[in-house]
Amino acid sequence: MRVLVGGGTGFVGGAVTQLLRSRGHEVTHLSRRPGPGRISWDELARCGLPPCEAVLNVAGENVLNPFRRWDDSFRREVVASRVETTKALAKAIAEADRPPRAWVVVTGVGYYRPSPTAKYTEESPGGDFDFFSRLVTAWEAAAKIPGDRTRQVVVRSGVVLGRAGGLLSQLLWPFWLGLGGPVGTGLQPFPWIHARDAAGLLCHALETEGVHGVLNGVSPASPATCNADFARALGVALGRPAWLPLPAWTVRGVLGPERAVLVLEGQRVEPRRTLESGYRFQFPELPAALRDALS
C-alpha cells in the first residue's frame, strides 16, 4: 500500500514510517524540506494528491516547546501546523480523481474537559471550553471529507512515551539529576501511550477496513494513572529519586497560564472503541512501557 504521511519526519511520524515500511508499505512524506521520498506542501497545493491508497497526518508544532514563548505568533503556528495542514490534505483527497481508501488524522485528548474524576470514551462530548479544546474541534472539523469514498479515522492521542522525542525526552535530565517528581498536586490524570503503540494503532487504523470514526490513542491503564504515578514509575525505571515536586506557580510562570493547563490538569480517557476495533496494546501497563522506552 502506498501511504502519504504529513509530519512523517517528526517523533511519532518517524515511528509510524518505520513500522509501515517494515510491513511492506511504500511511504512518501509531505515536508517543507525537499529530499528523496518527499513531496512539498506547495507541490500538494499545485498538483493535488499523488497516487496513494492511504493518507495519514501527524503534523503539528510541539506545543510544549521549551524554547518558544507562548504568544500570539506561536499560537498561530500551533493552529496552522495542525488545522491548515489537515485542511490541505482533506481538500486534496476530496478533489482526487482516485481518492485513497483510508484517511487518518491524529489529534489530541485535549478535546475532553480536564477533570480529576470524569472518565471519557470516544462518544463523550468535548470541545469549546479552552484554547486546546477549540483547537482539536477545529482540527477534526478540517479533517472531514464529504461522502463515503474514503474511510475516515481520527485518533485522539494522549502523551506519547518514547526516548526519541516528546515529553519523556525533556524529562530525562531532570530525573537523572535527582530533580524529578510530581508536577503541581500530582493528582491530575496523565493520559499516555507508548510510542510503539501509537505507531501500531495508526497502522491498524490505516490497514483495517472496518475501522472508522474516533479512536482514543491511550493505554488501557491510562484512566488509572495520575501525574504522581508517572513520576514514581519514571524514577523507578531510571533508578533515581522522584520526590521533588514542581510547584504549579513555577509551571505557570515558565509556560504561561494557558499552556500550563496541559501539564497541571488532565483527562481520564478510556480506549473503548480502540479495543473494540481489535487493536491489542503491546504496552498496556506503565512500568513496562517506561522500561522499554528507556532501554
Query: What one-character DSSP code corresponds to residue 189?
Result: B
- pLDDT classification of 128: cutoffs 50, 70, 90: confident
133/14 Cα distance (integer angstroms) = 26
Across the range 271-290, mean pLDDT stands at 98
106/86 Cα distance (integer angstroms) = 10
pLDDT of residue 284: 97
Q: Which of 294, 73, 19 is nearest to 169 (CA)?
A: 294
pLDDT of residue 129: 86
Q: Which residues make beta-bridge pairs with 157?
A: 108, 217
- Retrieve residue 228's grid coordinates: 504522581
- pLDDT classification of 295: cutoffs 50, 70, 90: confident
- pLDDT classification of 66: cutoffs 50, 70, 90: confident
pLDDT of residue 36: 80
Q: Which of 24, 157, 147 is nearest to 90 (CA)?
A: 147
Cβ-contact 20, 37 below 8 angstroms: no
Domain borders along the chain are 2-294
pLDDT at 34 over 80: no
pLDDT at 35 over 90: no
- Retrieve residue 148's grid coordinates: 463515503
Cell numbers 479533517 correspond to 143
Name every residue whose Cβ is closer than 8 Å to that of residue 28 and which is 6 or more positions away in sequence: 2, 3, 4, 5, 37, 38, 39, 50, 52
Cβ-contact 156, 217 below 8 angstroms: yes
pLDDT of residue 7: 93
- pLDDT classification of 130: cutoffs 50, 70, 90: very high
- pLDDT classification of 33: cutoffs 50, 70, 90: confident
What's the CATH fold of domain 2-294? Rossmann fold (3.40.50)
pLDDT of residue 193: 98
**Chain segment 86-127, per-residue pLDDT in tens:** 999 999 999 999 999 999 999 999 999 999 999 999 999 998
